[in-house]
């Protein structure tokens, strides 16, 4: 099979790193790693063609209705009076509830923030062939690291609080990350890989005179 014969070539592809900005995150927070890489066969021979490391600020990145204390009071007032909330306001409410459960209520700590890094990898669970590319999918999403240094406030979190925040981010990141853009990038990269492989095979298969 064409794919199996070309696995050694895939394993030698170079990982390129570039930066890209989506919506309001800015290039300093959204690092795109254009990975043309074949995962080992024990991982179902996955083909990862797009990888992103995204710096996220919790809770503020998850407050689409507004990040200020005035927004908090307006939303809580509407909720108390049973006035219907917009989808964005409902998302804010989810964050406020999570912060209350973490013991860091938003109205008492409106400027607190916690920075972490989300790794997203997209591609194919089985190596596709030219003409059978199909749609790329998100293969993996995980919290990569907690970022704390002199530039950020030192918010002390217990291991349980850190786990709870990580769980919340993984459950809600789809609301703020342009996943369709990432999957489209993965498809474009996979298409380029397959074209390169076809070209190499055609060259190798041409008899020399």
pLDDT confidence of residue 201: 58
Tell me the sheet residues that pair with 115. Answer: 57
Range of the domain at 140: 2-56+116-146+178-205
End-to-end CA distance of the chain: 26
Summarised one tens digit per residue, pLDDT across range 22-77 is 334 554 555 555 444 444 443 557 788 899 999 899 999 999 999 999 999 999 99
* Three-class secondary structure of residue 166 per DSSP: helix
Domain assignment present for residue 100? The answer is no
Contact 94, 169 (CB under 8 A): no
Q: What span, in angstroms and rounded, lies between the C-alpha atoms of 46 and 128? A: 9
DSSP 103: T
Domain assignment present for residue 168? The answer is no
Positive or negative, the Cα torsion across 97, 88, 145, 28?
Answer: negative
Contact 103, 37 (CB under 8 A): no
Rg of the Cα trace of the chain?
22
Q: What span, in angstroms and rounded, lies between the C-alpha atoms of 36 and 50? A: 7
Domain assignment present for residue 197? The answer is yes
Q: Which residue has the higher pLDDT, 15 or 184?
A: 184
Domain assignment present for residue 85? The answer is no
Give pTM, 2 decimals.
0.72
Local confidence band at 168 (pLDDT 50, 70, 90 cut-offs): very high
H-type alpha helices, 81-178 = 87-101, 159-172
Domain assignment present for residue 140? The answer is yes
Number of domains in the chain: 1
Domain assignment present for residue 66? The answer is no
Domain assignment present for residue 157? The answer is no
Of 41, 22, 29, 28, the C-alpha closest to 117 is 29
Of 128, 108, 94, the C-alpha closest to 1 is 128
Domain assignment present for residue 86? The answer is no
């Amino acid at each position: 099979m064409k794919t199996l014969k070309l696995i050694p070539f895939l394993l030698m592809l170079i990982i390129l790193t570039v930066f890209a900005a989506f919506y309001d995150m800015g290039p300093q927070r959204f690092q795109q790693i254009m990975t043309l890489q074949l995962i080992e066969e024990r991982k179902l021979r996955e083909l990862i063609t797009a990888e992103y490391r995204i710096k996220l600020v919790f809770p503020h990145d998850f407050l689409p209705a507004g990040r200020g204390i005035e927004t908090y009071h307006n939303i809580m007032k509407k909720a108390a009076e049973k006035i219907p909330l917009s989808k964005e306001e409902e998302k804010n409410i989810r964050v406020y509830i999570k912060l209350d459960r973490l013991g860091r209520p938003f109205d008492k700590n409106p400027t607190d923030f916690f920075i972490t890094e989300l790794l997203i990898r997209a591609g194919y669970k089985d190596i596709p062939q030219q003409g059978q590319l199909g749609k790329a999918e998100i293969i993996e999403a995980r919290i990569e690291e907690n970022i704390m240094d002199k530039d950020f406030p030192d918010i002390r979190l217990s291991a349980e609080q850190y786990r709870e925040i990580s769980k919340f981010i993984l459950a809600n990141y789809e609301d703020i990350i342009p996943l369709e853009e990432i999957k489209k990038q993965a498809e474009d990269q996979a298409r380029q890989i397959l074209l390169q492989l076809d070209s190499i095979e055609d060259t190798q298969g041409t008899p020399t005179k």
